[in-house]
Chains A and B, each alone.
Chain A
Amino acid sequence: MLGLMLPPEASAAIEFRDVSYSAGGTQILSGLTLKVERGETLVLLGRSGSGKTTSLKLVNRLLSPTSGEVRVNGLPNTAFDVIRLRRSIGYVIQDGGLFPHFTVERNIGLVPKIEGWPEERIRTRVTELLRIVGLPTEMAVRYPRQLSGGQRQRVGVARALAADPEILLMDEPFGALDPLTRDELQREFLSLQQRLHKTVMFVTHDLREALRLGSRIALMEAGRLVTVLAPREFLRSADPWAAAYVRAFGDGLESSMNRGTL
């Protein structure tokens, strides 16, 4: 009973309070209670259909809980104007979800633009973000289909960071990439996170990725939170689901926690 041990007033960046969600008669999420602390990277790990993505979408209100509440910065997320809430939370999905009819520049600058930033400031910000995610500035005028998968994903991250949100929601952002590109982006994510200290909720089904990127790992199964563990604890956990995951990924997992640059 994790929820009971925590003081009521500690305002975590994100907090799930006994959140359930069902759709079309199917229970997708059952009684999720979980806190994401400021500046940490909480990884939601689990197989397809375990409720990871649903949990993420409950934070920025793409979905509304059937019961319970999700709090952001100590307030129920329903207390915020939904548009303001979403603009203050970065959202990255697999393959970037970029607008195919916008150039890279317009994709990244969209939220600043609808927020009414002056053109000049948007341009400076876009250039800055391209540098942050490791893309050459010439990319600004390209269209998403002219980019590789890894480049699109970088643009997706840049776009989410555009208005400098405190919170980032990342839904299997590196899932569709080849192993080398994924490794590269994971490494960059770590160094980015060391500088920016965003609060990140990161969804993946890849244990190696979870061990490498997460400050804590929340393991989910069939719509329930099984356990929340630090990466090192995860490997030694006696929890049957955690152990099953460790077995499935086999040997050499310890090295996944090496966060250095090789």
Chain B
Amino acid sequence: MNVFRFILQNRSQVLELTGEHLWLVGLSTLFAMLIGIPLGIVIAHRPRLNKPVLAGANIIQTIPSLALFGFLLPLPWLGERADRLAILALTLYALLPIIRNTYTGIRGVDPAVVEAGRGMGLTEGQLLFQVELPLAVSVILSGVRVAVVISIGLATIAAAIGAGGLGEFIFRGLAMVDNSVILAGAIPAAVLALSADTGVGWLERRLRAR
């Protein structure tokens, strides 16, 4: 079990890279939620915008990740630091599941319930925050869950542009043709993905509307 000996011997570095990894994923997911949830809400209420917005997010999703990192490299300010670039790229990738699930979640709220609320004199803001979002929250969170899991995997590639994270071990191991070094990056990344999946999944069930 060379891998575990390697991890133990380099535990401070493993922890550091895991921390960087979490930083990349956490910040990009946060940005993607800040952009994606409002955007999803808007397109759920303005059907005319839903096709172009979802198509745009879909197209971003189809760009190969390594290429996207490369495309972003010449950008001013962002190009100066690899972690900024990586966060931008990860944010872009995380948008689609979050926008789509917010849209689906809100569209899935029983129209009779929304109309009853409107008829009772709730303002559009009250309808959104007291009715639509609470009823859509578990669907939205399942989009966030997908986004986080994708990001954790994708963030390993960020090491290719020097953004750090667990991908460092993977690329180093590839260069050294040493499986245990690759696994020292891959195993913690997999553990992160599984825990994020479980954690957000738990939150999703907790908040599921009755």
Cβ-neighbour of A99 out of B115, B118, B121, B131 (below 8 A):
B131
Contact residues in B for A87 (Cβ distance below 8 Å): 120-121
Contact residues in A for B131 (Cβ distance below 8 Å): 99
> Is A79 in contact with chain B by the CB < 8 A criterion?
no
Tell me, rounded to whole Å, the shortest Cβ–Cβ distance linking A84 to chain B: 7
Cβ-neighbour of B121 out of A57, A84, A96, A100 (below 8 A):
A84
A99 to B123, CA, bound (A): 15
Contact residues in A for B130 (Cβ distance below 8 Å): 99, 110
Contact with A along B113-128 (1 / 0, CB 8 A): 1011111111100100
* B116 close to A97 (CB less than 8 A): yes
A-B CB pair tally, cutoff 8 Å: 60
> Is A98 in contact with chain B by the CB < 8 A criterion?
yes
> Is A12 in contact with chain B by the CB < 8 A criterion?
no
Contact with B along A90-126 (1 / 0, CB 8 A): 0101111111110000000011001000000000000
* B126 close to A91 (CB less than 8 A): no
A88 to B120, CA, bound (A): 9
Given A143-B210, A145-B210; A110-B120 close (CB under 8 Å): yes
A136 to B185, CA, bound (A): 61
> Is A180 in contact with chain B by the CB < 8 A criterion?
no
Contact with A along B126-143 (1 / 0, CB 8 A): 100011001100000000
Tell me, rounded to whole Å, the shortest Cβ–Cβ distance linking A130 to chain B: 18
* B121 close to A97 (CB less than 8 A): no
Tell me, rounded to whole Å, the shortest Cβ–Cβ distance linking B203 to chain A: 16
Contact residues in B for A101 (Cβ distance below 8 Å): 134-135, 209-210
* A100 close to B113 (CB less than 8 A): yes
Contact with A along B188-210 (1 / 0, CB 8 A): 00000000000000000000011
Judged by DSSP, the binding face of B is helix
* A97 close to B112 (CB less than 8 A): yes
A86 to B123, CA, bound (A): 10
The residue on B at minimum CB distance from A110 is B120
Tell me, rounded to whole Å, the shortest Cβ–Cβ distance linking A116 to chain B: 13
Contact residues in A for B122 (Cβ distance below 8 Å): 110, 114
> Is A1 in contact with chain B by the CB < 8 A criterion?
no
Cβ-neighbour of A97 out of B115, B126, B134, B135 (below 8 A):
B115
CB within 8 Å of B: which A38-94 residues: 57, 60, 62, 83-88, 91, 93-94
The residue on A at minimum CB distance from B114 is A97
* B119 close to A60 (CB less than 8 A): yes
Contact residues in A for B121 (Cβ distance below 8 Å): 83-88, 111, 114
CB within 8 Å of A: which B154-192 residues: none
A94 to B118, CA, bound (A): 15
Given A97-B115, A114-B126, A145-B210; A91-B120 close (CB under 8 Å): yes
The residue on A at minimum CB distance from B210 is A143
Given A87-B120, A111-B120; A100-B210 close (CB under 8 Å): yes
Tell me, rounded to whole Å, the shortest Cβ–Cβ distance linking B174 to chain A: 49
Contact residues in A for B123 (Cβ distance below 8 Å): 83
Contact residues in B for A212 (Cβ distance below 8 Å): none
Contact with A along B11-42 (1 / 0, CB 8 A): 00000000000000000000000000000000
The residue on B at minimum CB distance from A60 is B119
Contact residues in B for A91 (Cβ distance below 8 Å): 116, 119-120
CB within 8 Å of B: which A134-167 residues: 143, 145, 159-160
A87 to B126, CA, bound (A): 13
Residue among B112, B118, B121, B134 with most chain A CB within 10 A = B121
User: Could you pull out 8 A-B pairs where Cβ atoms are within 8 angstroms?
Assistant: A62-B118, A83-B121, A83-B123, A97-B115, A111-B120, A114-B121, A114-B126, A169-B119
With A97-B113, A110-B122 given, name 13 new contacts (CB 8 A).
A57-B119, A60-B119, A62-B119, A84-B121, A93-B115, A96-B116, A97-B115, A97-B117, A98-B116, A101-B135, A111-B121, A114-B121, A114-B126
Give me the 8 closest cross-chain CB pairs, A-B, nearest first. A97-B116, A87-B121, A86-B121, A91-B119, A101-B209, A143-B210, A83-B121, A101-B134
